[in-house]
Amino acid sequence: MELHKSITLKHLLINQKKFIGIQFSTNKVIQALIDTLPDVSWSQEFAMFYVPNTTANLKLIYRTFQGVAWVNGNFFFSDKLINADNPILNLERYRSRKPKDGFKYCPEEYLLKLELKRYADNTVRNYVSCFEGFINYYYTIDPIALNEIDVRKYLQKLIQEGKSNSYINMAVNSIKFFYEIVHGMPNRFYAIERPRKERQLPEVISKEEVVLIMNIRIP
């Protein structure tokens, strides 16, 4: 299902107490759901509704709007490093590429988040490559407008091309990174199935090889 509604979470400090601010464009459906939240109030100063900043309320917000509106947490969640031991990235090699007709490069917001998270260079290379494959498959469509059906269609294409399970998993990770990390849409593609881990069968020798081995005389 494609979602057009969204809410944005903000940190609010009112009378030295922490709250979760909920910002959204006027919408009757969202307003009705906001009214169901416990201890919800309106801030004239910040022009948004808010609830006490608790783990229970945060989880409740995501449950309440799941399937109805995207929850944008970009302004709420801090940019935690994936691995502080990794060197600071320099992704100018991607930013300085010359434009190519009919090809979309990885958006700046994607590169910036990879830098902030300090992913390993090899992971960055794989994510950029996989995500560019995805957005160019839907070259004429804004990635934000794509839904789970579109993602499944693209993954089916990779399967038909004979891509390995590890490659397909990397593609899923790169796509989820865009929606869940870059644009703060947690679990937007929670129903996307991942391929099972590949199991390599042991090599089995042929009957002819068995006979040949048995007929070998040991001096």
- Angle 148-160/165-176 helices, nearest 10 degrees? 160
Looking at residue 218, what is its pLDDT? 44
Give yes or no for residue 25 having a pLDDT over 50. yes
What's the average model confidence in pLDDT over 84-103?
86
**The domain over range 6-72 is classified in CATH as 3.30.780:** yes
**Per-residue CA distances from 61 to 37, 115, 138 (Å):** 8, 29, 32
Residue found by looking up tokens 């917001």 in the block = 109
Determine phi and psi for 37, rounding to 5 degrees.
-70, 140
Give yes or no for residue 205 having a pLDDT over 60. no
Give yes or no for residue 121 having a pLDDT over 70. yes
Looking at residue 144, what is its pLDDT? 86
Give yes or no for residue 78 having a pLDDT over 70. no
Most confident of the following: 1-5, 141-145, 182-186 = 141-145
What's the average model confidence in pLDDT over 188-198?
60
Looking at residue 14, what is its pLDDT? 84
Give yes or no for residue 61 having a pLDDT over 90. yes
Give residue-wise pLDDT tens across range 141-169: 999 888 888 999 999 999 999 999 999 99
Give yes or no for residue 98 having a pLDDT over 80. yes
Q: What is the pTM of this model?
A: 0.56
Give yes or no for residue 107 having a pLDDT over 60. yes
Q: Specify the higher pLDDT residue, 184 or 219.
A: 184
* Percentage of residues in the chain having pLDDT higher than 70: 77
Give yes or no for residue 99 having a pLDDT over 90. yes
**Per-residue CA distances from 20 to 46, 52, 106, 194, 206 (Å):** 12, 6, 32, 33, 67
Q: Burial level of 107, CB count in 10 A (0-12/13-18/19+)?
A: middle
pLDDT tier for residue 213 given thresholds of 50, 70 and 90: low
Is it true that 6-72 and 78-219 share their CATH fold? no
pLDDT tier for residue 101 given thresholds of 50, 70 and 90: very high
Q: Which two tokens stand for residue 14?
A: 């009112």
Mean pLDDT of the chain: 83
pLDDT tier for residue 3 given thresholds of 50, 70 and 90: low
Gap between the Cα atoms of 34 and 36, Å rounded: 5
Instruction: Spell out the domain ranges in the chain.
Output: 6-72, 78-219
CATH fold for the domain made of 78-219: DNA polymerase; domain 1 (1.10.150)
Looking at residue 2, what is its pLDDT? 46
